[in-house]
Amino acid sequence: MEIKSGVYAVGAVDSKIRMFHGYQTPIGTTYNSYLIVDEQITLIDFVKAPFAQTLLSNIRAVIGGRRIDHLICNHAEPDHSGALPDVLKAYPAAKVYGTANCQKALAAYYPEAEMDFQAVKAGETLHVGQNTLTFIPMPMVHWPDSMATYLAEQKILFSNDALGQHIGTGQVFDSELPLEALLDRAGDYYANIVLPYGSQTMKALEAAEPLAIETIAPSHGVIWTKHIPEILERYARWGNNETDEKAVIVYDSMYHSTEHIANALTEGFVRAGVPVRPVDLKTRHISDILLDVLEAKYICVGSPTLNNQIMPSVASFLTYLKGLSPKNRTGIAFGSYGWSGEAVPNITERLKQLRMKLPLEGLRINFKPSPSELNEALEFGKKFAKILKG
């Protein structure tokens, strides 16, 4: 599909994928690739390996028997570069461009592939006829090799993983989807992939700020044309770790005791006027919770004690959260226990490792909570919310 004069989307839709790096993708994803047809022909990114023939077929539908002169690799991760060996077999005279770290990664992934590689630096350009491409390295958004590419004459930023979404339902442009649903998918994507690299993301956006941009073409999901101000505003919030005055309560429970505590805490937040979302880990995947975590200032984590430890589902959530490293959050731990009660202090320690503020000691209740203990939990939630609200 032609997205602007002489610029074509030639990637692949993966509507069946449901898990991506441990992150659920309930509506699939895309592996975007872009073809620029000028005096010289340029291909940006190369889709996941199983979709190589789809990519090559899409390319031939646009250029027929013409050759590709330039291959730009914005990111060496295999969902972006997997088809590169097949593309090089089809177009062996093409030169490959990317950062020096990209060159190292491609050599490690595809040692059998012969390629003429040119490492590029910030601000370097490639003239392909009427169009000029400028390279914008953005290390650690989200790999060391990452970069974006800017097509000046068409005012297109090929943004790599930044500003992407996992949407594999066939839409091409942001105007084809309801804005809030689209921003939620972009939030899911940011929270599960980009969140640890907020400061680097902000630097990359600052580097792109002077550019005239009418189209943002990411490596996954739909192309931004209509709602560029909205997604840039959200990225600024997320990149600066700005949150809303709301809470998320994440827990698992064996015999409903910890669940009852979670419900009482929820009621306490509600009575204190703080929006709150309780999340039972038996009903939602850990990656599905991250959109709530991305926007909530207050994180409450609960578990009963099982074999002197946290329940595996809660431990998995905390491990996942540690890798994503959200900042400027306030937390509490809670849970029920039988005879030992290590879960709450264990959770508290993990929240400390995440550098969360912990204004109150964790809440522990022995066995099934009594009505008075549930009222204590409710008051605990109110007290916590009032402390947070000042």
pLDDT at position 140, please?
A: 93
Residue 389 predicted with pLDDT over 70: no
Residue 390's pLDDT band, with cuts at 50, 70 and 90, is low
Residue 244: active-site member: no
Q: Which of 70, 75, 80, 227 is catalytic?
A: 75
Residue 97 predicted with pLDDT over 90: yes
Q: What is the mean pLDDT of residues 89-110?
A: 98
Residue 188: active-site member: no
Phi and psi at residue 85, to the nearest 5°: -55, -40
Region for residue 174 given its phi and psi (left: phi exceeds 0; alpha: psi -120 to 50; beta: otherwise): alpha
Note the pLDDT tens digit of each residue in 42-71. Answer: 999 999 999 999 999 999 999 999 999 999
Q: Which of 166, 220, 227, 260 is catalytic?
A: 220
pLDDT at position 53, please?
A: 98
DSSP letter at 223 equals B
Residue type for position 45: D
Q: Which of 45, 69, 161, 373 is catalytic?
A: 161
Q: Which three-class secondary structure state does DSSP give residue 273?
A: coil
Residue 80: active-site member: no
Residue 75: active-site member: yes
pLDDT at position 47, please?
A: 97
- C-alpha span between 220 and 381 (Å, rounded): 40
**To which residue do tokens 């400027």 refer?**
328
pLDDT at position 386, please?
A: 78
**Percentage of the chain lying above the pLDDT 90 cut:** 90
Note the pLDDT tens digit of each residue in 238-277. Answer: 999 999 999 999 999 999 999 999 999 999 999 999 999 9
Q: Give, in order, the Cα–Cα distances in Å from 361 to each of 115, 332, 345, 347.
A: 59, 7, 9, 11
Residue 166, both tokens:
């996992």
- C-alpha span between 388 and 365 (Å, rounded): 23
Residue 166: active-site member: no
Residue 127: active-site member: no
Q: Which three-class secondary structure state does DSSP give residue 16?
A: coil
Note the pLDDT tens digit of each residue in 329-356. Answer: 999 999 999 988 999 999 999 999 999 9
Q: What is the mean pLDDT of residues 75-85?
A: 97
Residue 207's pLDDT band, with cuts at 50, 70 and 90, is confident
Residue 79: active-site member: yes
Q: Which of 14, 45, 69, 79 is catalytic?
A: 79
- Give the chain's mean pLDDT: 95
Q: Which of 38, 77, 145, 259 is catalytic?
A: 77
Q: Which of 23, 150, 189, 251 is catalytic?
A: 189
pLDDT at position 64, please?
A: 97
Q: In order of start, what are the domains of the chain with their CATH numbers?
A: 2-239 (3.60.15.10), 244-384 (3.40.50.360)
Residue 124: active-site member: no
Largest Cα separation within the chain, whole Å, is 78
Alpha helix positions (H), 68-197: 78-81, 84-90, 100-109, 179-189
Residue 381's pLDDT band, with cuts at 50, 70 and 90, is confident
pLDDT at position 380, please?
A: 86
